[in-house]
Amino acid sequence: MDLVRYIDSDWHHYCDRKQIRADYVVESLEQLSTVKADKKYSYIQDFNKNPTSIEILERKIRQSMTVADHTFVGLGEPLISYKDPKHGWDHKHNCYEGPFYYTDDFINKFQITDPVTFFANAVSHVPLNRPMHYLNDMFYESNQIYETHRVCRNMLRKLEATWNKTNSWELMCSHNTMLYELLQSHQVNQYTFSTCHALGITHWGPDVIKPTNNQSGGETFSNDHNIRCSDLIDPSIYNQSHYSCVVETVIPADNRISMFSEKQAKPIVARRPFIIVGTKDHLKAFRSLGFKTFSPVIDETYDDEPNMEKRFAMILDAMLELSKQDPKDVYESLQSVLDHNYLHFYKHTWNIELQKAWLTPNLLSE
């Protein structure tokens, strides 16, 4: 054989296995080590972010590097956050001690010369020893779900085109209790529809599909696709607010890396202005992907603030200022940005590097 591949059983939904001939694929790294071939490549995936899964992932990558010419790793969690067992166990809090480590820490466990390439739905703000190519995985199923899936198309149809709405903003704080508490004491709170799942303050409108635990929207609701509950635009929320403030799940305090998810994708699809609660330079990272942001209509100076709490306060201030403007004027002034982001999301050729790794891996491995 000229070329043989090992594809992890966890590797799914990114690439079409039918594009690869069955006789070029083996089922384990052990098989990959014994088969004769001119080139050997392996594809490893991980959707977890706990210390045990991180250890397993690292071991699997290092094993792969001993038998494969190149290893391609898809980080299914767009931003890995974990604690290292080397710091010991905190019995009081029932978790590992020590600081949190992130995607860049994991990648930098490998040497500059190691034959491994990573893919993640994130942008790093610090140097990495090995390449990490951006993987647009905001919607796991595909960018096209609001065009191709009936349940998603129905959500868009139920969005009301009116300037008479109860709130200026919708803000789903998820597990960010700091932001939620800051909001409660800020003047913009009176113009904001908000929830905080960590505090049991939730909202699921009648048109969306609730996760089974009523908390985590990350689960899929059918075996036929990878659409998650959190991918669904909730008309009952959008129809009572003009703008979205989207909160990323993991925000490293030292601003080392920015993740992207369905939280940005939903307002893009709905052509809706939004603010991103994330790291310092999160908007810069977003623009580096070809999207546009909303300055000067929205004050985006918060993106330059390194301190998290100060940045959150600046975001709430920016929300308040926009709440004072006529939403019709705001949308008219931002229409070109909304249209650009919508078309860029749908029409841009995403994940070129991943397709190269899948179809012509030698292009990325040499």
User: What torsion, rounded to 10 degrees, do the Cα atoms 217, 204, 181, 314 define?
Assistant: 80
pLDDT at 22: 66
Q: How far is CA 18 from CA 15, 23, 73, 137, 270, in A?
A: 9, 12, 20, 20, 33
**Cα(242)–Cα(72) distance, integer angstroms:** 41
Residue whose entry in the numeric block shows the structure tokens 């790291």: 279
Q: How far is CA 119 from CA 22, 116, 123, 354, in A?
A: 24, 10, 10, 7
Structure token digits, residue 134 = 């951006």
Length of the chain: 366
Q: List the pLDDT tens digit at each of the 366 positions of the chain.
A: 688 999 998 887 778 777 777 678 999 999 999 999 999 999 999 887 677 888 899 999 999 999 999 999 998 877 777 888 888 888 777 777 888 888 999 999 999 999 999 999 999 999 999 999 999 989 988 899 999 999 999 999 999 999 999 999 999 998 999 999 999 999 999 999 999 999 999 999 999 988 887 656 777 888 788 899 999 999 999 999 999 999 998 899 899 999 999 999 999 999 999 999 999 999 999 999 999 999 999 999 999 999 999 999 999 999 999 999 999 999 999 999 999 999 999 999 999 999 999 988 887 776
- Identify whether the C-beta of residue 207 lies closer than 8 Å to the C-beta of residue 154: yes
Q: What single letter denotes the amino acid at residue 348?
A: H
Give the SS3 label for residue 100.
strand
- Identify whether the C-beta of residue 295 lies closer than 8 Å to the C-beta of residue 304: no
CA-wise closest residue to 331 among 146, 159, 168: 168
Structure token digits, residue 249 = 């799940």
Q: How far is CA 209 from CA 221, 281, 326, in A?
A: 8, 33, 33
The edge-to-edge listing of strands for the beta sheet with 241-247 is 192-195, 167-172, 241-247, 274-277
User: What torsion, rounded to 10 degrees, do the Cα atoms 87, 198, 311, 317 define?
Assistant: -170
pLDDT at 96: 79
**Cα(257)–Cα(126) distance, integer angstroms:** 7
φ, ψ (nearest 5 deg) of residue 195: -140, 165
pLDDT at 13: 72
Q: How far is CA 335 from CA 244, 245, 320, 340, in A?
A: 16, 18, 21, 8
**Other residues' Cβ atoms within 10 Å of the Cβ of residue 87:** 12
**Cα(76)–Cα(130) distance, integer angstroms:** 17
